[in-house]
Amino acid sequence: MLEKIKTAAHYLSKQIGFKPEIGLVLGTGLNSIAEMLEDPIKISYQDIPGWKASTAPSHQGLLLAGKLSNKNIIILQGRLHFYEGYSMQEITFPIRVLKELGIDKLIVTNAAGSLNEKMVPGNIVMLNDHINWMGNNPLIGENNDELGSRFPSMHQPYDTKYIATAHKIAKLNNFTLQDGVYLALSGPSLETKAECKMLAKMGADLVGMSTVPEVIVAVHSNIKVIGISIVTNLSNIFHSKPHTQEEIRANAAKAKSDLEILIIELLKKI
């Protein structure tokens, strides 16, 4: 795996020409953030050696490199999901490559369903913990000590100082920001009502199909992590009508301007 990571990083560093310090993964419906990047270098996932193509709807499969808030960053516009049929190692390969390029801070965003009545569509939630309910783990298999330790601690996967910084930004800019626990399932079928009830009882505020594998690999790689969810729908506990992909994208768009402020200001301060 190390060889593959180095090959992809070598390919990217030749194209990018600068050392990036922060990575930003954009979730469903959150692509517009990428438009803020100054003079981005755009690289299609298909062109990066060893990197899988994105097949999920509204996930563009583009890596963008450039400056935002005067920081050298890489944006992953569209992520890879376990439900696309890729392995846990394949979906987290991009995080390994970002680390090899020099990134030591990662902002992961996602669209999530709410299991908590206080978190409603359009709200932004800082992840303060997660539950890995995907039935798998990207670190299964032989551990390469050069990449990280065999049993990385998950006692605080999301950086508490950065969560506090995010709250200061929200207060200053007058938007609501909550903290919550994100639970990841494999998907792609959405949760039943009974499953939603169970997940809420387990202590989850939000549910989705991503983020957790990336965060596990980031922690394994000694990368500091910020996790941000946009609530795009209430889960099935709260209503009997199914939610649609259109609804999810429309609600993600509602949070757009606050999320843009949050990300721009966080980039300045981390």
Binding mask 42-81 for ligand HPA (x = CB under 6 A): ----------------------------------------
Omega prior to 242 cis, within 30 of 0? no
Least Å from the CB of residue 127 to ligand HPA: 14
Binding mask 142-181 for ligand HPA (x = CB under 6 A): ----------------------------------------
Task: Please list the residues that pair with 109 across neighbouring strands.
Answer: 228
Tokens of 252: 């993600």
Asked whether the beta carbons of 225 and 106 are under 8 A apart, the reply is: yes
**Segments of the chain assigned E as strands:** 22-26, 38-44, 62-68, 71-77, 105-114, 124-132, 177-184, 206-208, 224-234
Residue selected from 26, 127, 209, 212 as contacting ligand HPA according to rule CB under 6 A: 209
Q: If you search the block for the tokens 């259109």, which residue do you land on?
A: 246
Least Å from the CB of residue 107 to ligand HPA: 18
Residue selected from 20, 23, 78, 113 as contacting ligand HPA according to rule CB under 6 A: 113
Least Å from the CB of residue 24 to ligand HPA: 19
Report how many residues bind ligand HPA under the rule CB under 6 A: 12
Report if residue 101 touches ligand HPA, rule: CB under 6 A: no
Q: In whole angstroms, give the CA distance from residue 207 to residue 215.
A: 15
Decide: residue 147, CB within 10 A, 0-12 exposed, 13-18 middle, 19+ buried: middle
Report if residue 248 touches ligand HPA, rule: CB under 6 A: yes
Nearest residue (CB) to ligand HPA, 177 versus 184: 184
Residue selected from 41, 120, 190, 253 as contacting ligand HPA according to rule CB under 6 A: 190
Q: Which residues contact 257 (CB under 8 A, 6 or more apart)?
A: none
> Which window, 117-125, 155-163, 165-173, 230-238, contacts ligand HPA (CB under 6 A)?
230-238
Q: Which residues contact 131 (CB under 8 A, 6 or more apart)?
A: 181, 182, 183, 184, 202, 203, 204, 212
Q: Which residues bind ligand HPA (CB under 6 A)?
A: 111-113, 190-191, 207-209, 232-233, 235, 248
